[in-house]
Amino acid sequence: MNVLSLFDGMSCGQIALNKSNFKVDMYYASEIYKEAIHITQKNYPKTIQLGDVNLLNKNRRLDDLGEIDLLLGGSPCNNLSIVVADRKQHHQGLKGEKSKLFFEFVRILNEVKPTYFLYENVENMKKEDRDIITKELGVEPIMINSALVSAQERKRLYWTNIPIQGLPEDRGLVLRDIIEREVDDKYYYNCTYDFYGLDKRVVAKLHLNTHDMLKRVYNINDKCPTLTACRGGYKQKKIYLDWCDKIRRLTPLEYERLQTVPEGYTEGVSEGHRYNLLGEGWTIDVISYILNCIKNK
């Protein structure tokens, strides 16, 4: 199989292919962030990096890649997600500077004509943007929540010509199943907080000078909310440990577990970059499930 992955990030598609035991002959990756490329090359040194997706067929001819069996991509959702609606960029949809990169996926899909393609993006986008993506790709999306295979709520839409057969089996995982028992003191918060009770999903809120969402402390007997990039302070998800009455942020290892990424995969860059890469990545076991449908065809 020859694979072309656009917006490759830390190469979650390659992890999923490996997990599904596909024999990958050539894996071409289009990515621009050096930390993501560093992690990819550390784990998959044979990856061929192609650079900026906008320049494919300008600086690097797609014809030179030969036949592509699988095209992967999940273009930036910065302008599509409606969760953080108070930010100007989140009102722009597919016209926004980041999310308009979807049309580069369409361009390259039409140029390379792969046997299979898989495109991913957020579930909470406007209907008009969802309809445009569906029209351009010619297939209806399937919504899969990562909560089925991990301890994280993460609803994502998948547009693909791979014949997906149903949904993954629910493993019933919660935060308690993936957390580390012993972590460094630096992960703990010493500030005061309001406590709401162990019967709540949000068991407490920290007294921090930041947005309400970033103050939330989650119940380890429930799912973790959707991981996101952590650029800026206090953005890591926080949990209350009932056995020691303490609050801490999740560790990069726990982020890896929530995304079903192999443990230690993101080691080699700063912790901040590890959180970012994982928050912007894919849930591996969801992608692996979809890819396995090729074998079951």
Same domain, 166 and 96: yes
Of 77, 267, 269, 93, which Cα lies nearest the Cα of 154?
Answer: 77
Same domain, 151 and 58: yes
The percent of residues in the chain predicted with pLDDT above 70, rounded, is 96
Q: Output the pLDDT for position 269.
A: 97
pLDDT digits (tens, 9 = 90+) for 240-266: 999 999 999 999 999 999 999 999 999
Q: Output the pLDDT for position 90.
A: 55
Q: Output the pLDDT for position 297.
A: 64
Same domain, 149 and 31: yes
In a domain, 132, yes or no: yes
Torsion of CA 27, 33, 35, 37, to 10 degrees: 10
Of the two residues 281 and 100, the one the predictor is more confident about is 281
Mean pLDDT score of the chain, rounded to an integer? Answer: 93
- Alpha carbon separation from 198 to 174, 176, 203, 221, 222 (Å, rounded): 14, 13, 6, 9, 10
Same domain, 185 and 141: no
In a domain, 262, yes or no: no
Q: Output the pLDDT for position 85.
A: 40
Domain tally for the chain?
A: 2
Q: Output the pLDDT for position 84.
A: 54
Same domain, 40 and 55: yes
Query: Distance between CA 103 and CA 190 in Å, rounded?
Result: 46
Q: Which domain holds residue 200?
A: 175-257
In a domain, 263, yes or no: no
Q: Output the pLDDT for position 88.
A: 53
CATH code of 221's domain: 3.90.120.10
In a domain, 274, yes or no: no
Q: Which residues pair with 143 in a beta bridge?
A: 157
3-state secondary structure the chain: CEEEEECCCCCHHHHHHHHCCCCCCEEEEECCCHHHHHHHHHHCCCCEECCCHHHECCCECHHHHCCCCEEEECCCCCCCCCCCCCCHHHHCHHHCCCHHHHHHHHHHHHHHCCCEEEEEEECCCCHHHHHHHHHHHCCCCEEEEHHHCCCECCEEEEEECCCCCCCCCCCCCCHHHCCCCCCCHHHECCCCEEECCCCCCEEEEECCCCCHHHHEEEECCCCECCCCCCCCCCCCCEEEECCCCEEEECCHHHHHHHCCCCCCCCECECHHHHHHHHHCCCCHHHHHHHHHHHHCC
pLDDT tier at 233 (50, 70, 90 boundaries)? Answer: confident
Same domain, 47 and 86: yes
Same domain, 187 and 253: yes
In a domain, 143, yes or no: yes
Same domain, 51 and 141: yes
In a domain, 265, yes or no: no
pLDDT digits (tens, 9 = 90+) for 159-201: 999 999 899 999 999 999 999 999 999 999 999 999 999 999 9
Same domain, 155 and 181: no
pLDDT digits (tens, 9 = 90+) for 99-155: 789 999 999 999 999 999 999 999 999 999 999 999 999 999 999 999 999 999 999
Per-residue pLDDT, averaged over 32-55, amounts to: 97
Measured in whole angstroms, the distance separating CA 63 from the mean position of its chain's CA atoms is 29
Same domain, 25 and 149: yes
Same domain, 160 and 26: yes
Q: Output the pLDDT for position 86.
A: 43
In a domain, 269, yes or no: no
Token code pair at residue 250: 């999740």
pTM: 0.94
pLDDT tier at 157 (50, 70, 90 boundaries)? Answer: very high
pLDDT tier at 207 (50, 70, 90 boundaries)? Answer: very high
Q: Output the pLDDT for position 152.
A: 98
Does 91 have pLDDT greater than 90?
no
Query: Distance between CA 195 and CA 172 in Å, rounded?
Result: 26
Does 230 have pLDDT greater than 90?
no
Strands 26-30, 2-6: pairing is: parallel
Same domain, 97 and 214: no
